[in-house]
Structure 1
Amino acid sequence: MDQDRPTSAEDIRTLRAEKASLRARDFCDTYGLAEAQLVAAYTGQGSTRLTAHPAELMPRIERLGEVMALTRNASCVHERVGTYGNYKSGPHAAMILQPEIDLRLFPSHWVSAFAVETETDAGVKRSIQVFDAAGDAVHKIHLRDTSNHAAWAEVIAELANGDSSDTLEVAPRKPAETPKVNHDKLDLLRSEWSKMTDTHQFLRLTSKLKMNRLGAYRHVGAPYVDRLDTGAVDAALQALAGSGTEVMLFVGNRGCIQIHGGAIETLKAMGPWQNVMDPRFNLHLRLDHIAEVYAVSKPTQRGPALSLEAFDAEGGIILQIFGRRTEELDSRPAWQEILSALPRTQQEELV
């Protein structure tokens, strides 16, 4: 929707004040704005532009102590409380490896960043928000009452890039990659799949064979992949809740993947949303966005890695759930039992 799109930062701020009851993302969708453009409109009035590269951001964010990390896509929001640290850099990918905040970062998509301070009835809310070239959120860090607020001003001063513009140019949003399959190579895919020793080999294999994840899942067949009913994700969450079964739950976008490792305790459904509402982990999932679901088995040196993977109608991945790995095993028997009991669907031929 694009209703009377505001054309200046002042227009954005005025309209936002009139529509204060709308969530920021809903406001932007309604008025044809990227979320980064809304944040940029308040530069000098609550927003400060920062350097966006994770190599600059992450070591400084450690000094803020306990915070809430948020990563989302259009269908799922993943929120985890913890501390940043143990930053590992790389030419194309980087990582935060902490017991609670576990991230995979892809710096080429970290294009703009802001420190945001918002006055509320409960006091000043502080966050650091990172966006991609289209102005979509890549990753956000929200301070909590338990955070080190005393370090905030110094950290932001070090990260500020000096840009005072309250407008932001964004690129068109790139659509999800359409499913790719090379029918002539399916036997080779199955043969090479059986020889994998690590889950990270999968994307290299599909790329070599001119395929991608969803294209391979649609066509490789059993025993590698089973297509499930679209209700299988909710059924899995219901089975996990309160069971003590530990999983690794991945949610991401092009710039960041965030991982929860542990059990799930409390579910609360609200309309089309299914929500995990645990003290240090929240998940908000649009069940009505789920178009395809697969149970996937990938061989590793420590046994099969079993995952539940959900995709939207455009072919974008919404989330993945694996049994939580240990030093000895890449799966858990309780997770295998949950996966085995989920409703299957006809493995129809999809192009």
Structure 2
Amino acid sequence: MPLADPCTRPSPADLRKAMADATLRPRDLALSLGVTEADLLAAQVGHGATRIAAHPDRMMPTVCRLGEVMALTRNGAAVHERTGTYGAFHPGDHAAMILGPEIDLRIFPAHWVHGFATRNDTGTGPSRSLQVFDASGTAVHKIYPRAGTDLAAWDRAVADLATGDTADRLVLSPPAPVEAAKPRPDKAAELREAWAAMTDTHQFLRLVARLKMNRLGAYRIAGAPFAVPLDPSALNTALIACAEAAMPVMIFVGNSGCIQIHSGPIVTLREMGPWQNVLDPRFNLHLRLDQVHEVWLVEKPTRRGPAHSLEAFTAEGALILQLFGYRKEGQEHTEAFAQMAAGLPRLAGAT
């Protein structure tokens, strides 16, 4: 939904009233009002919200002291929620990381622009949160307390990160459009030759960028065994198969500023309307099946053997999630995953 015209956008007071009366989730309320989630939080500055430093170099070392929390990263079609502790933070100008057995993040600092801490003492809704948004006001990453959270450390973190900015409006940039598939059919042979020579999955994006393509564009021209188009229903079929087999997997969900990874089994699946949900004690995934438009079975060579993944995209070409067999030194589940994926329904009429 396009944002409201700046001249007619609701005032901060109007937004606060709308939030007080709302029964919708913040993201849905923001869409209905023609604003962003970040606008809603800015309107609450001084009314339960505090502006905080958003850059991960400032934020993450403090977050690592909070104890057990819930980390949330989402895009328009999937929400990834993981309970655990923020472990070792590895900074980087272009990419940073949180590496831990439960909370595992790849962070792109340029998109960590607007930060807010919220506190709600009404007894309804989350009691506290830390939320980060990109320059367009789109959510990048959120953190919520859990039973094991050190709330005193949380309050110290908010005080330490507070910027002192009391403005209740934001100046936002237009959201970047989704990049459609960029295939280069004239480079297909070069793509396949370079793909076959890869020794690590992380080489893939550099490869396609060098050939002036993107991920989805490369999949569309690579051909088997590198990329095989599947029926869109294959992703849900795979989730059900992995749960039934108690097969450890890795599930990547991301946006422009953060990728969050679950490593381990999925147990409880519950389909509700258009949503398929993983509802496990320490991991939740909420997936809009009706937005899954393309699914690809992808094989990338590595020094430890081929890595197989299922990768789902929206109709516009946005990556929704990636599903891999669990891969850790001495605990490989990639062969079982490859066998499961080989039986998934192919796209009718695909060559």
Residue 61 of structure 2 aligns to a residue in which SS? helix
Equivalent residue for 1:9, pick from 1, 9, 12: 12
Distance 2:318 2:126 in 1: 36
Q: Deviations over 1:8-41 (max 9, x none)?
A: 11011112222x2111111001110011000110
Identity %: 55
The residue that corresponds to 2:271 in the other structure is 269
Residue 173 of structure 2 aligns to a residue in which SS? coil
Distance 1:103 1:36 in 2: 22
The residue that corresponds to 2:234 in the other structure is 232
The residue that corresponds to 1:82 in the other structure is 84
Distance 2:174 2:26 in 1: 19
The answer on whether the counterparts of 2:126 and 2:144 sit within 8 Å (CA) in structure 1 is: no
5 Å matches for 1:29-68? 29-68=31-70
Distance 2:319 2:126 in 1: 35
Distance 2:126 2:346 in 1: 48
Amino acid corresponding to residue 344 of structure 1 in structure 2? R
The answer on whether the counterparts of 2:307 and 2:334 sit within 8 Å (CA) in structure 1 is: no
Name the CA shift for 1:160/1:3 in 2 (closer, same or farther; >3 Å).
closer
Residue 7 of structure 1 aligns to a residue in which SS? coil
The residue that corresponds to 2:29 in the other structure is 27
The residue that corresponds to 1:182 in the other structure is 184
Distance 1:124 1:273 in 2: 22
CA deviation after TM superposition for structure 1 residue 317, in Å: 0.1
TM-score, normalised relative to structure 1? 0.96
Distance 2:235 2:223 in 1: 20
Q: State yes or no: 1:204 paired with 2:181.
A: no
Q: Deviations over 1:77-113 (max 9, x none)?
A: 0000000120001120000001100000000000000
CA deviation after TM superposition for structure 1 residue 176, in Å: 1.2
Distance 2:349 2:137 in 1: 37
CA deviation after TM superposition for structure 1 residue 150, in Å: 1.5
CA deviation after TM superposition for structure 1 residue 244, in Å: 2.0
The residue that corresponds to 2:307 in the other structure is 305
Q: Deviations over 1:266-311 (max 9, x none)?
A: 0011000000000000000000001100000000000000000000
The answer on whether the counterparts of 1:303 and 1:329 sit within 8 Å (CA) in structure 2 is: no
Name the CA shift for 1:305/1:200 in 2 (closer, same or farther; >3 Å).
same
Distance 1:267 1:77 in 2: 14
5 Å matches for 1:165-180? 165-180=167-182
Amino acid corresponding to residue 11 of structure 2 in structure 1? S
Distance 1:122 1:33 in 2: 23
Distance 2:28 2:211 in 1: 40
The answer on whether the counterparts of 1:58 and 1:87 sit within 8 Å (CA) in structure 2 is: yes
Amino acid corresponding to residue 86 of structure 1 in structure 2? A
The residue that corresponds to 1:290 in the other structure is 292
Deviates more, 1:127-136 or 1:176-185: 176-185
Residue 144 of structure 1 aligns to a residue in which SS? strand
The residue that corresponds to 1:254 in the other structure is 256
Distance 2:150 2:136 in 1: 31
Name the CA shift for 1:318/1:90 in 2 (closer, same or farther; >3 Å).
same
Q: State yes or no: 1:318 paired with 2:317.
A: no
Deviates more, 1:320-329 or 1:51-60: 320-329
Distance 2:109 2:9 in 1: 30
TM-score, normalised relative to structure 2? 0.96
Distance 1:186 1:277 in 2: 41
Name the CA shift for 1:45/1:149 in 2 (closer, same or farther; >3 Å).
same
CA deviation after TM superposition for structure 1 residue 233, in Å: 0.7
Residue 66 of structure 1 aligns to a residue in which SS? strand
Q: Deviations over 1:218-242 (max 9, x none)?
A: 1111111110000011001110114
Q: Deviations over 1:114-144 (max 9, x none)?
A: 0011234368611100000110100000011
CA deviation after TM superposition for structure 1 residue 327, in Å: 1.5
Residue 318 of structure 1 aligns to a residue in which SS? strand
Amino acid corresponding to residue 295 of structure 2 in structure 1? V
Amino acid corresponding to residue 320 of structure 2 in structure 1? I
Distance 1:3 1:304 in 2: 48
5 Å matches for 1:58-137? 58-121=60-123, 125-137=127-139
